[in-house]
Amino acid sequence: MELSLLDRGTIRADLNFALDGEVAATRSDPSPDLRYEEFAVWNLLVDGERTVLWDTGSRPDAASAWPAPLYEAFAHEDAAEYDLETALGEVGYAVADVDVVVQSHLHLDHAGGLSVFEGSDVPVYVHRRELEHAYLSAKTDAGDIAYLASDFDRDLNWQVVHGDRQLFEGFELLHLPGHTPGLLGAHLHREDDDLLIAGDEAFLAPNYEQGREMGASLVYDSRAWHESLRKLKERERRSEATVLYGHDPDQFETLRRRFSA
């Protein structure tokens, strides 16, 4: 099972979104400097029994297509430079090589490349609760702003996941609600080094390693988030797996080098 991390560019945002209360005013420092940080955007290509693409990243025209308030908060200024086709090509693959797509969730920095699979028979796996919540959010006043109908309201070969399930031997999908209702992670059972995909259950390493919550705008259900964290940690304890976080730039660079070695 060979792994390749695809570089999809960088989102820039206030660190308080990823680490709740990281920068806070105090009596002695009532006006601290905010931290405007860079966060990695990636996809994962898993070449094993079948070639699986994990997430499809932001759309190239994010600057004009995303809702203005959201882009102001989470600017993906280099999205056009790191489109899906280019990212696949850099690791020796093309869109036509992808047999299966798994959408961890349908936020617009994760589902923006689904258009390249429109009208094809490539199965696109997504959790039922995620698909429901995405349509509710994009088509009504309920839900949240981070879903864009034009990303996913397409002729796609949806394969709806209802809970944890085995995608194929050695590749388990895990339901990890919290960040969104239908967030999917995965447990990849490898001969020498298991991989647990936590994804946006943990934006950065401290979310997972220290149990620090993300900001309230990034957590749909706090209780579910903590339960999903415990679920992942138990998997890690039993398997000694490497845990892959959602947007941690340092880990992204480290694991990209490891997987390509």
Mean pLDDT of 222-246: 97
- Residue 199 domain-assigned (yes or no): yes
Does the CA dihedral 57-168-155-133 come out positive or negative? negative
- Residue 25 domain-assigned (yes or no): no
- Residue 137 domain-assigned (yes or no): yes
> In the predicted model, is pLDDT for residue 66 greater than 80?
yes
When mean pLDDT is compared across 51-60, 124-133, 135-144, the lowest value belongs to: 135-144
Mean pLDDT of 16-28: 96
- What are the backbone angles phi and psi of residue 60, rounded to the nearest 5°? -60, -30
CB distance 126 to 103 below 8 Å: yes
* Domain CATH for 222: 3.60.15.10
pLDDT at res. 230 = 98
- Domain total in the chain: 1
Question: Rounded to whole angstroms, how far apart are CA atoms 232 and 201?
Answer: 9
- β pairing state of 157-161 and 123-127: parallel
- Residue 22 domain-assigned (yes or no): no
- Residue 26 domain-assigned (yes or no): no
Q: What is the pTM of this model?
A: 0.96
41 lies in which domain range? 2-16+36-260
pLDDT at res. 123 = 98
Model confidence pLDDT, tens digit, residues 94-115: 999 999 999 999 999 999 999 9
Task: Output the DSSP codes for 202-223.
Answer: -SSHHHHHS-PPPPGGG-S-HH
Closest by Cα among 213, 181, 222, 167 to 54 = 167
- Residue 80 domain-assigned (yes or no): yes
- Indicate the pLDDT class of residue 253, thresholds 50, 70 and 90: very high
CB distance 236 to 229 below 8 Å: no
- Residue 21 domain-assigned (yes or no): no
Mean pLDDT, the chain, whole residue set: 97
Model confidence pLDDT, tens digit, residues 195-208: 999 999 999 999 99
- Residue 75 domain-assigned (yes or no): yes
